């Protein structure tokens, strides 16, 4: 039998946490044959709710779940974890300046970074979900210098999946037949959902999305804004932000990272830029990646047209600004 993998979820008493922990315990994240031990961290005001989630996990009697650590102690939460999904953080409240929220989060992730560095298992993989996800991941990387940059990522898979979903609806084909969309850049409304290399499996073979949709105006306009604004649309409809789709995307991200992407398929992940596609090095930027043996690689050599270039640069600019703001909170 396989050794259990320890998975940390921070902010586990929150909305996404509540959707995510049962998925992990059912094997959605790491596979139906992989036992797991869940580590759940939240803050003292949420301790009772966190304990309630733990009670429900016990009650669900998940065969793969070999243990649950529910705690408000960062060191205990990080001890021995192989995977860390960072969902908890300080939300922006009405009337708060971006800088005030950023400073709160910088101090939270500074201490969580050092706890991971000290107590997590070697080679621990980190996924940032809490917003601003790209920049929070960068902060964590800064404060956990012994964690390799390649192990620190952020979630743009939800945006990627939203793009697949929009194409599937538009063409009335199953979403499983659509692949290789790309989310470039920031997990924010400046992200660039790119379909220039995306394809659909049809009875006549694989066809480019552009050829099938036959409506560049829609693809270059409404499609892009729909994906960019989808989070806001969910809030408007549900009066709560996306949770089940975010949790599902977090599982997709880790599963593909650990177990590999299918041959011929790439996914979008926020990763540390090495300057590929002329994206400034040193940002956490969403790229198309393939994964093998637990490591991601940016897909190289895709032709980039002028419209794409502009959009890729403007989302990079926003990330550089966020980075500067984060650094200005460091003192
Ligand atoms: P909730 O407010 O429901 O949950 C957040 C939880 O974090 C709460 O239980 C809170 O007590 C806890 N928390 C606060 N400070 C903490 C700390 N220092 N250590 C540990 N836990 C702490 O938010 P939820 O809807 O679950 O969303 C969580 C985060 O995900 C938000 O930052 C949100 O913006 C972000 N999202 C990111 C997405 C992405 O695709 N990257 C999509 C969904 C989501 O909007």
- Residue 129 CA, closest ligand 1 atom number: 41
Q: How far apart are CA 70 and CA 89, in angstroms?
A: 17
Of the residues 86, 87, 251, which should be mutated to test ligand 1's pocket, given the most ligand atoms within 8 Å of the CB? Answer: 87
pLDDT of res. 97: 84
Confidence (pLDDT) at 1 = 84
Got the DSSP string for 133-201? Answer: HHHHHHHHHHH-TTS-GGGEEE--HHHHHHHHHHHHHHHT--GGGEE--EEEB-SSTT-EEE-TT-EEE
- At 118, list the tokens: 């000290």
Is residue 78 in contact with ligand 1, taking CB distance under 6 Å? no
CA distances from 98 to 140, 252, 283, 287 (A): 18, 30, 19, 25
133 lines ligand 1 (CB under 6 A): yes
Q: Is 16 annotated as a binding residue?
A: yes
Q: Output the tens digit of pLDDT for each of the chain's 331 residues.
A: 899 999 999 999 999 999 999 999 999 999 999 999 999 999 999 999 999 999 999 999 999 999 999 999 999 999 999 999 999 998 888 888 888 889 999 999 999 999 999 999 999 999 999 999 999 999 999 999 999 999 999 999 999 999 999 999 999 999 999 999 999 999 999 999 999 999 999 999 999 999 999 999 999 999 999 999 999 999 999 999 999 999 999 999 999 999 999 999 999 999 999 999 999 999 999 999 999 999 999 999 999 999 999 999 999 999 999 999 999 998 6
| 11 in a known ligand binding site | yes
pLDDT of residue 207: 98
Compute the distance from residue 276 Cα to the ligand 1 centre, in Å: 30
CA–CA dist 10, 300 (Å, integer)? 33
Q: Is 100 marked within a binding site? A: no
33 assigned ligand-binding residue = no
Ligand 1 centre distance from Cα of residue 86 (Å): 8
Q: Give this prediction's pTM.
A: 0.98
Q: For ligand 1, is residue 130 a contact (CB within 6 Å)?
A: yes
Q: Which residues carry out catalysis?
A: 187
Determine whether the shortest distance from the Cβ of 90 to ligand 1 is under 6 A. yes
Inter-CA distances, 161 with 164, 210, 247, Å:
5, 18, 12
Nearest CA owner, ligand 1 atom 39: 129
Cβ(47) – ligand 1 distance below 6 Å? no
ipTM: 0.99
Q: Are 128 and 11 in contact (CB under 8 A)?
A: no
Q: What pLDDT, on the 0 to 100 scale, is given for residue 331?
A: 66
């Amino acid at each position: 039998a396989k050794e259990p993998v320890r998975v940390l979820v921070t902010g586990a008493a929150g909305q996404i946490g509540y959707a995510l922990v049962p998925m992990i315990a059912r094997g959605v994240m790491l596979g139906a044959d992989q036992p797991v031990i869940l580590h759940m961290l939240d803050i003292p005001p949420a301790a009772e709710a966190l304990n309630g989630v733990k009670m429900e996990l016990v009650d669900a009697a998940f065969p793969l779940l070999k243990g649950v650590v529910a705690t408000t102690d960062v060191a205990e939460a990080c001890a021995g974890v192989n995977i860390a999904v960072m969902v908890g953080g300080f939300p922006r409240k009405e009337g708060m300046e971006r800088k005030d929220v950023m400073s709160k989060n910088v101090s939270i992730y500074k201490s969580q970074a050092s706890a991971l560095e000290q107590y997590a298992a070697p080679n621990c993989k980190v996924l940032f979900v809490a917003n601003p996800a790209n920049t929070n991941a960068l902060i964590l990387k800064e404060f956990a210098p012994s964690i390799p940059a390649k192990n620190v990522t952020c979630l743009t898979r939800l945006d990627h999946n939203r793009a697949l979903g929009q194409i599937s609806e538009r063409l009335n084909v199953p979403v499983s037949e659509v692949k290789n969309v790309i989310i470039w850049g920031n997990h924010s409304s400046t992200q660039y959902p790119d379909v220039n290399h995306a394809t659909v499996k049809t009875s006549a073979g694989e066809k480019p999305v552009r050829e099938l949709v036959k409506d560049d105006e829609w693809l270059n306009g409404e499609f892009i804004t729909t994906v960019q604004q989808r989070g806001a649309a969910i809030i408007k409809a549900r009066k709560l932000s996306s949770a089940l789709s975010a949790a599902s995307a977090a599982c997709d991200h880790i599963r593909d990272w650990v177990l590999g992407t299918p041959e011929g398929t790439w996914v979008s992940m926020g990763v540390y830029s090495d300057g590929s596609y002329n994206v400034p090095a040193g940002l956490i930027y969403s790229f198309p990646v393939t994964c093998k043996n637990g490591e991601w690689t940016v897909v190289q050599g895709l032709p980039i047209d002028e419209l794409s270039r502009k959009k890729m640069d403007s989302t990079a600019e926003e990330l550089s600004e966020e980075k500067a703001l984060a650094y200005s909170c460091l003192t």
